[in-house]
Structure 1
Amino acid sequence: MAAMTIRNKLTLIASAAFGIAFALAAVLVYAVFYDTSERIIFSELQKTSMLAAMVYLEKDELPAYEHQQVRSKFDATMFNTDVKIYDQNNRLTYGNGRLDKELTSGILERIRSEGKANTNANGHYYYGIFYPDNQGDFVIVVATTDAFLVSQSRQLLLMMVVALLLGLIIIVLLSRWLSRLAYQPVAHIIKQVNKIDIHSLDNTVIPPEPRDELHALVLTFNDLLVRLSDAFVIQRNFINYVSHEFKTPLASISGNLEVFAQKERTAQEYREVTGRVVTQVYHMEELLRNLMLLAGLREADQGNTSYRVDEMLWETLDRIYREWPDAKPLISVYMDVPSAGRLTIKGNGSQMQIAVYNLMENALKYADSKPVTVSLKEQNGQLTMEIQDHGRGIAENELRFIHQPFYRGNNVGQIKGSGIGLSLAVLICKQNNVSFSISSVETKGSTVHLRWPAYTVLH
């Protein structure tokens, strides 16, 4: 069974709403019409009963010309109307004889006791009054058929049914036209979404105008695409990130083992090499855990974690000095943070150590043996770190590409590299909510700026 489309649902809902509303209104109109018509009929019968009293019972008291006028008015209202006048003994005294059915004594007594009464039965409306006269006490009953009211009621019902059918047809056609008009932005969005695949997640959907709920939905969807695109990029580059980060500890392990295997070693030397290898293995395990977190292949530990930025920086420098011993004289470190409490930050310190290490490694690679300055300071309530070198720099037209994995500038020359380190550092900063920016002038050097938001600082 095919699912009902939104357009058909809107048409059905609009038609049902119109039908129900019209039916309720029609019932109300019909009830008011019928009640008002009966009131008019009884009012006319009341007037006719008074005229009948003047014609039949006041003839001896009225002048001839006045009686004739009353008689003419009475005759003009007597179409399809019956009049019966009963005396105090319930005997029919006067009447025009148009209705053969006689009234029961109970009805007559009710009229005498109440002074007047009305009812409808057997297709007729009855109105009776008690009329005392010098000739005696009489009951005047006027009756008429309901044929006219029934005819008018049927015509009204027919008109309402026709109006309902015509209204439903109009509503269906109008609803389909309006739903098609309203559905056009949705169809346009679906067409755009269908063009998006795993290789084009960065293609956002153009939101419709005006700025309504659909506009907000598209913006939310675009935000989801951005997050999915980032996740796919991370996972797609996961192996490259792993190989980039693992090459140094693996080289250290293999180097130690190769040297160690060249000759017999003492027990003390066994312990020293084993310790160094275990340290590198633990380091690789930590790297793998952080890279899996970045790739979304592992969930982060629950709760808020924190780290000291200065401690993270010193640990990074220790690693740099171990792996770049010749660069130690080139590195200058400056710290200007008034309070030690400002150095404690919410976030993943191990990941940020990877990012800072990659940034400093890049600075040393392309510094051409020139000084590299690392400064940590507080500005406007925010902790900032700058890594500045005076090496080759980056051409202005290449700055926008450096965040991309595997991208390397045209001026790297024979310097080895994979183009992974900087993109991984940018990704880590993004996931740790650290602002990253870089400024560079070719042949004069580059400066990387890291800025932690004020709310992540633990006071």
Structure 2
Amino acid sequence: MKLKHRLSLYSIVIFSVIILIASGIIFVSYYKQMENKERQNLANKSVLAAIYYLEQDEVTESEHEKTKNQLLKTISRRNIAVFDSKNQRFTGDMLSDSNITTTFIQRVRNATSAGFSNKDFFYHGLHYLDNQGEFVVITRESKSAFNEQMFSLLKILIIVSLLGLVLIYLFSRYLGNIAYDPVNRIVDQIKTRDRDSFYEPLKEERSYAEIHDLIATYNRFIDRLAQNFQIQKNFIDYVSHELRTPITAILGTLEVTETKDRSPEEYRTVLHNLKQYSLDLNEALDQMMILSGAKKSFDFISTRLDEIVWEVVEHAILYHEAKINVQINVQDVDLMEIQADSKLLELALNNLVGNAIKYSNNRPIQIELFEDNEQLALSIKDEGIGILKEDMEKIKLNFYRGQNSKDYQGKGIGLSMAHIIFSIHKIEMSLEENKPYGTVVILKFPNSNRILI
């Protein structure tokens, strides 16, 4: 059973109980009220009957006739009986009634007035003292009209309750469709997902807070799932991409070495080459662990950023004969002290400077350390080919290369490697256009001296 149908059923059950209780309370309350009213009316008729039968010798004929007319309008004399002190019928036209017992007559005398009812009649007794003696006046009223009225009320309550339940069922179904329409739209979106669109976030604008929370939770879950799959994919990509060269070199060297006997000097050369290939392979593995997200622990220590920058500049000048101008515009020297894994941070900056050198054909590069709203920042400006606007969002992805970089050798991992390392250090990296040509990379370092991994 669908949840909205189950909720409709629950609504019907709950409202059925509520309607049943409310109808019962209404019926019982109205019954008691009307019963009390009938008994009060019957008590008034008993007084009128007592005056008619027992006060005739004390009033004028016209007054007696007036009392008679009032009595006949309210009660039949066949429903009146007057008993004397010996419990004998004194007057009244009521036929013998087994419900009127001496016990009831005595109770009336003791309580001045009393009454009871059965399924057919209401009874009322009045203890009346007259100059003729002591009497008990008993009147009765048929319950047929009262029972019909109560039965009509009961039918009305039953019909209203049934109609109410039908309306509640229809209304709950209608509200269920409205309430679950956003859920149905979400389900429809999920059903359309395939391998290519699986990680697309759900979108639902016409909804309420709980559905938005559900969508946000689902999107966060999918995003984390996508990250985990991306880690696996990255690792496979990097293994196939980075390990092939050193492994091929090792196998080729071993095959060549096996073709004939070698001198000790040649074997030492072969071992030296194999060692270098192994070191290259180990470095590639370390980089793959970082890029794939598999490596989680790093050595964060207090480090001077300017010292790392000078190491990067020295490396670029030594190996690439780069033309680099460094400016340090930091007044608060304490900002230069950061918590970082210096080797990783140096690797990332080497990748950025290496890209600037390569894609600018070794034109001058500007590196500046400065303060931005009491936050340490670093910029690297080159005069190279720049990054196209349509590539700006994708350029940080693994193995992605800009459309204007086809004439330059590269694997598309330098910038993605730097981006991951900066993310590990909680460093914000942004890319801007360096007008009239070139690229500006801006790094903003966290104010906190503690990096959480």
Structure 2 spans left out of the alignment, 5+ residues: none
Match of 2:338 in 1: 344
Q: How does 1:34-113 map to 2 (within 5 A)?
A: 34-79=31-76, 82-98=79-95, 100-101=97-98, 103-113=100-110
1:240-299 deviations in Å (ceiling 9; x for gaps): 3456666898899999999x9986469x9999999978876764554344344x2xx57x
Q: Quote the offset at 1:27 in angstroms.
A: 0.6
Structure 1 spans left out of the alignment, 5+ residues: none
1:236 aligns with 2:226: no
Instruction: Report the 3-state secondary structure (helix = DSSP H, G, I; strand = E; otherwise coil) of the residue aligned with 1:22.
Output: helix
Question: How far apart, in 1, do the equivalents of 2:22 and 2:410 lie?
Answer: 81
1:368 aligns with 2:365: no
1:200-227 deviations in Å (ceiling 9; x for gaps): 1453333132554323433443444444
Q: Quote the offset at 1:133 in angstroms.
A: 1.0
Q: How does 1:203-352 map to 2 (within 5 A)?
A: 203-209=200-206, 212-242=209-239, 264=264, 283-284=283-284, 286-292=286-292, 294=293, 300=296, 306-308=300-302, 310=304, 314=308, 317=311, 321=315, 325-327=318-320, 330-331=323-324, 333-337=326-330, 338-340=332-334, 343-345=337-339, 352=345
Choose 25-34 or 184-193, whichever is displaced more. Answer: 184-193
Aligned sequence identity (%): 27
1:98-140 deviations in Å (ceiling 9; x for gaps): 4522533333332222222222246432222221111112122
Question: How far apart, in 2, do the equivalents of 1:32 and 1:66 lie?
Answer: 40
The TM-score with structure 2 as length reference comes to 0.81
Q: Quote the offset at 1:97 in angstroms.
A: 1.7
2:413 to 414, 420, 423: 420
Q: Quote the offset at 1:59 in angstroms.
A: 0.8
Question: How far apart, in 2, do the equivalents of 1:55 and 1:350 lie?
Answer: 121
Do the aligned partners of 1:368 and 1:391 also contact (CA within 8 Å) in 2? yes
Question: How far apart, in 1, do the equivalents of 2:106 and 2:280 lie?
Answer: 118
1:448 aligns with 2:441: yes
Choose 138-147 or 273-282, whichever is displaced more. Answer: 273-282
Q: Quote the offset at 1:312 in angstroms.
A: 10
CA 1:49–1:397: 2 relative to 1, 3 Å: closer
Q: How does 1:430-445 map to 2 (within 5 A)?
A: 430=423, 432-441=425-434, 444-445=437-438
2:144 to 127, 132, 147: 147
Match of 1:18 in 2: 15
Choose 159-168 or 103-112, whichever is displaced more. Answer: 103-112
The TM-score with structure 1 as length reference comes to 0.80
CA 1:135–1:320: 2 relative to 1, 3 Å: farther
The code of the aligned residue for 1:239 comes to I
The code of the aligned residue for 1:310 comes to R
1:199 aligns with 2:196: yes
CA 1:263–1:326: 2 relative to 1, 3 Å: farther
1:185-206 deviations in Å (ceiling 9; x for gaps): 3322222221123311453333
Instruction: Report the 3-state secondary structure (helix = DSSP H, G, I; strand = E; otherwise coil) of the residue aligned with 1:197.
Output: coil
1:119-178 deviations in Å (ceiling 9; x for gaps): 224643222222111111212222233333222222222222222222222222233233
- C-alpha root-mean-square deviation of aligned residues, in Å? 4.2
Choose 178-187 or 44-53, whichever is displaced more. Answer: 178-187
Q: Quote the offset at 1:399 in angstroms.
A: 3.3
Q: Quote the offset at 1:305 in angstroms.
A: 7.5
Q: Quote the offset at 1:93 in angstroms.
A: 1.5
Do the aligned partners of 2:83 and 2:135 also contact (CA within 8 Å) in 1? yes
Q: Quote the offset at 1:33 in angstroms.
A: 1.1
Match of 2:371 in 1: 378
Do the aligned partners of 1:396 and 1:441 also contact (CA within 8 Å) in 2? no
Match of 1:406 in 2: 399
Question: How far apart, in 2, do the equivalents of 1:181 and 1:29 lie?
Answer: 34
CA 1:22–1:50: 2 relative to 1, 3 Å: same
CA 1:328–1:129: 2 relative to 1, 3 Å: farther
Question: How far apart, in 1, do the equivalents of 2:345 and 2:440 lie?
Answer: 18
The code of the aligned residue for 2:377 comes to T
